[in-house]
Amino acid sequence: MNSIFRNCCRISIGFMLLTAPFLAYGAWQALQLNANSPIDWMPTDFPARLDYERFDAAFESGEVVVVSWPGCAIDDARLETFGRVASSSAEAHDTDGRPYFSRVLTASGILRDLTSPPLDLPQAEAVRRLQGSLIGPDGRSACAVVVFTSEGLRDRARAVPLLRRILAEDCGVGPDDQRLAGPIMDGLAVDVASLESLNRFAGPSSLVIFLLVWRCLKSWRSALLVFLIATYCQLASLALVHFCGEAMNAVLIVMPPLVLVLGVSGGIHLVNYLYDAVCHGGHSGVAGRAVRLGWIPCALSSGTTAIGLASLMISDIVPIRQFGFYGAFGVSATFVMLFLVLPGAFEIWPGLNRESHSEADSDAPSLPESRLMDFIRKYANSIVVASFVLMLATGWGMPRIKTSVRIQTLFGADSRILTDYRWIEDHVVPLVPIEVIVHCQKDCSLTTLERLALVQRVENRLAELPEVRGTLSAMAFLPKLSDPGGAMSTVARTVLRRKLESNLDRFVELRYLSMQAGEQNWRVTARVSSLADIDYGDFLKEVHDAVTPIVEEYTARGVKGINITSTGAMPLVHEVQRGLVNDLFSSFLSALVLITIIMMLIERGVAAGLVSMVPNFFPVVLLFGLLGWIGRPMDIGSIMTASIALGMAIDGTLHYLTFYRRDILKTDSPASATHAAYAHCAAAMTESTVVCGFGLMPFALSEFLPTSRFPWMILWLIWVALIGDLIVLPALLLSPLGRFFRRRRGEKAAVVPADSQD
């Protein structure tokens, strides 16, 4: 048997050495491609995404960059220069020659078109029509809007710096004065910030993790071996992203360090089982004894952690689903490699044991542990009652949880991107477009002029909404429509109608009309603030309710073939937020149900399984309940921690109950068994909690808020989980509920073979 462990160790190490360069290459390639867009996070058949993509196909991409600078005005020659250079730059193409930008709109260029023949609008009227879309409220501040193609979106890391270079070199606008905002800038900022977080903090985090493992295991050889195995599996999970043809995103960025800390946490528990085996039987046969005692609790703790991660795969939000898959793979792979290498390594190299032995090697609990256990035994019932009351009180706040993927929840208030957002919205235009499409189907009996009158009514109604700060439609490029009535008016309208019908291509070129198979779709854009406290999902419903009576009026007059739809990037982001809340509960409940069933099977009873889940439910209810009560919005990274923490929390419970059952069979004394469990695994549980909690803390220094919040969430959850395992769980076992865990004398424990009991 011992030779089998030694051979497995040698073969596994050889396999790791051979495949490590291959995995390192895949991991490096995965880090070269980063794609973050809430629109792409939803499934392709999601209704809100389908509406937005239909708009995109009919008119143009909503992926734009709004460009301005202090002093940028309607008569600023630099604005025209920027538009001309950006439109014609040979660099604004990918390697296949496809352009990055479909068009570049400038306030000065559009204003010139409106004040020139054939419209010849007065300057003041032309400015008024463009206020809120390209011109600021003062009538002078102006901007340019760069509309990206799909190629530009994919290569935004090159396209956006090109725009900045044009501003600096061709327009004389220095980097500090450049103001760029819009969906493209959102995605690029997230790309840069998330990868920068990994590049800056992965090294310090790994160093902290290694030092903590070394401190916990008291052997640099054991610590190094555990760390290298976990690092190998971290590379494997990261490389799998590349080999599956997927890109990194802001959510996946924290997956590699999480796999690392979970891997070393499992390694700490396994090494402590090996230490225990050496302590009780010497080095001879240590692998067999340790594996017989520890493989089931380690497999179950790893399995439940993987279940907690895999439960995220039921999410409709792509990054969460990816995180669940790759995280579960990494945890499972680490468990396999730890058991293939560590037991055999202890047989081959006895020097892996602790450099020095201490009282931690004995079966007796330390003085602080004894005092804590005396306190728990004295107040066990009170602790149980207080725990349930605390969970009940905080749990009522969980339905009040708020989530957000808006830009304000991703970056600090003084970040460059939010500074640019505020400046553009204060001086020029609001940044969120809400798109309303007036559909005139083939059987619509309205003339072109009547359809435009309908478009004008819709635009006027939108302008009345208090949130709307600007509108734009085809009406901006037409002379003012005269009221029907009178011979001269009738003649003028007839002439205008004929001109319109012969020049519809002009509106198609302007992207305010789409014609397909005899159907006309007229676009009206309403602009609202990106920084205001607006629920864009509710606002989209408000828009629908505002314009529906207009359609109903036409329908009542017998006009057929008219309907109106509304869409926009921010309303779609709202659907992502709603999905976050749904996924929080559905993935958490899925993990909770599966893990509870597993605990029922392990404990051989429904009641025992339910009671054993209390300390694991404890940290999740406390944290998320408190967040619900205070109303603090949670980002997409924080949402995932509920299911992750549940899987991690069960780890300590399984190890504690393993030693509790081993002793209860010998003594039939709950007090003695809880003391014995403390002596065997309290230190290892604390050590793994320290590693998992503080190993990720370097990422808390990140300026990218989802990355910086994630380690704090994990730290809180696993430390409260440790309190649950070392205070609430012993109290439950010593309370009347502990009777569900007691067995008749002579009955075997579910996970402890008879020959492993000393």
DSSP letters along 591-652, please? HHHHHHHHHHHHHTSHHHHHHHTHHHHHHHHHHHHHHHHHT--B-HHHHHHHHHHHHHHHHH
- pLDDT 10s digits, 498-521: 667 667 888 888 899 999 888 999
The Cα-based distances of 293 to 72, 718, 753 in angstroms read 73, 25, 7
Question: Is residue 165 domain-shared with residue 124, that is, in the same domain?
Answer: yes
437/568 Cα distance (integer angstroms): 11
| Domain annotation covers residue 92 | yes
Average pLDDT of 685-714?
Answer: 84
Question: Is residue 510 domain-shared with residue 548, that is, in the same domain?
Answer: yes
| Domain annotation covers residue 507 | yes
Which one is predicted more confidently, 636 or 464?
A: 464
| Domain annotation covers residue 43 | no
Helix, strand, coil % over all residues of the chain, rounded to 5: 70, 10, 25
699/715 Cα distance (integer angstroms): 12
The answer on pLDDT for 412 being more than 70 is yes
Final residue in a domain of this structure, among 167, 188, 209: 188
Average pLDDT of 286-313?
Answer: 83
- pLDDT 10s digits, 139-187: 999 999 999 998 888 888 899 999 999 999 999 999 999 999 988 888 8
Instruction: Tell me which H or E stretch contains 323.
Output: helix 318-348
Average pLDDT of 32-53?
Answer: 75
Residue 521 confidence (pLDDT): 94
Q: What is the largest CA-CA distance in the chain?
A: 111
CB-CB contact of 316 with 49 (8 Å): no
In our burial notation (b when 16+ CB lie closer than 10 A, e otherwise), range 705-743 reads bbbbbbbbbbbbbbbbbbbbbbbbbbbbbbbebbebbbe
Describe the crossing of helices 683-695 and 705-723 by its angle, rounded to 10 degrees.
170
Question: Is residue 522 domain-shared with residue 589, that is, in the same domain?
Answer: no
Average pLDDT of 675-702?
Answer: 83
Question: Is residue 174 domain-shared with residue 94, that is, in the same domain?
Answer: yes
608/430 Cα distance (integer angstroms): 58
501/497 Cα distance (integer angstroms): 6
Which one is predicted more confidently, 198 or 548?
A: 548
Final residue in a domain of this structure, among 289, 317, 349: 349
Which one is predicted more confidently, 125 or 369?
A: 125
| Domain annotation covers residue 55 | no
546/243 Cα distance (integer angstroms): 49
Question: Is residue 170 domain-shared with residue 294, that is, in the same domain?
Answer: no
| Domain annotation covers residue 206 | no
CB-CB contact of 166 with 172 (8 Å): no
729/654 Cα distance (integer angstroms): 11
Average pLDDT of 526-548?
Answer: 88
- pLDDT 10s digits, 466-496: 999 999 999 898 877 555 554 445 555 565 6
| Domain annotation covers residue 41 | no
Q: 214-228, 552-566, 598-612, 657-671: which range is least confident on average?
A: 657-671
C-alpha Rg value of the chain to the nearest Å: 32
Final residue in a domain of this structure, among 546, 567, 588: 567
User: How many domains does the chain fold into?
Assistant: 4
Could you tell me the two tokens for 282? Answer: 């010497």
DSSP state of 131: B
The answer on pLDDT for 36 being more than 90 is no
Q: 65-79, 122-136, 366-380: which range is least confident on average?
A: 366-380
Q: 37-41, 153-157, 229-233: which range is least confident on average?
A: 37-41
Q: What is the 3-state secondary structure (H, E, C) of 363-414?
A: CCCCHHHHHHHHHHHHCHHHHHHHHHHHHHHHHCCHHHCCECCCHHHCECCC
Other residues' Cβ atoms within 10 Å of the Cβ of residue 508: 15
56/525 Cα distance (integer angstroms): 13
**Which residues does 494 contact at the CB level (< 8 Å), separation at least 6?**
none
Question: Is residue 440 domain-shared with residue 459, that is, in the same domain?
Answer: yes
Which residue is listed with tokens 């995220």?
Answer: 312
- pLDDT 10s digits, 280-294: 777 778 888 888 877
Question: Is residue 704 domain-shared with residue 666, that is, in the same domain?
Answer: yes
Taking alpha carbons only, the member of 294, 369, 304, 306 closest to residue 613 is 304
pLDDT confidence band for 754 (50 / 70 / 90):
very low
**Phi, psi (degrees; rounded to nearest 5) at 704:** -85, 110
Residue 501 confidence (pLDDT): 67
| Domain annotation covers residue 587 | yes
371/575 Cα distance (integer angstroms): 52
Residue 577 confidence (pLDDT): 67
Residue 424 confidence (pLDDT): 95
Question: Is residue 454 domain-shared with residue 585, that is, in the same domain?
Answer: no
688/695 Cα distance (integer angstroms): 10
Residue 668 confidence (pLDDT): 75
Could you tell me the two tokens for 623? Answer: 């944290």
52/40 Cα distance (integer angstroms): 11
CB-based burial label for 475 (10 Å; 0-12, 13-18, 19+): buried
**Which residues does 444 contact at the CB level (< 8 Å), separation at least 6?**
451, 520, 559, 560, 561, 562
How much is the mean pLDDT over the chain? 84
Residue 488 confidence (pLDDT): 46
DSSP letters along 115-164, please? HSTTT---HHHHHHHHBTTTB-TTSSBB-EEEEE-HHHHHTHHHHHHHHH
46/364 Cα distance (integer angstroms): 59
Average pLDDT of 24-35?
Answer: 82
Which one is predicted more confidently, 38 or 207?
A: 207
Residue 78 confidence (pLDDT): 95
Question: Is residue 224 domain-shared with residue 323, that is, in the same domain?
Answer: yes
Share of the chain above pLDDT 70, in %: 90
Residue 286 confidence (pLDDT): 82
Describe the crossing of helices 183-217 and 156-169 by its angle, rounded to 10 degrees.
120
Question: Is residue 383 domain-shared with residue 514, that is, in the same domain?
Answer: no
Q: Look up the domain containing 81 and give its range.
A: 60-188
Residue 704 confidence (pLDDT): 82
DSSP state of 250: T
- How many helices (H) and strands (E) would you count in the chain? 28, 9
| Domain annotation covers residue 260 | yes
Q: 526-540, 588-602, 736-750: which range is least confident on average?
A: 736-750
Other residues' Cβ atoms within 10 Å of the Cβ of residue 19: 14
Question: Is residue 97 domain-shared with residue 244, that is, in the same domain?
Answer: no
pLDDT confidence band for 637 (50 / 70 / 90):
low
Q: Can you give the CATH number for the domain in which 504 is found? A: 3.30.70
Question: Is residue 594 domain-shared with residue 561, that is, in the same domain?
Answer: no
What residues does 403 pair with on adjacent strands?
A: 634
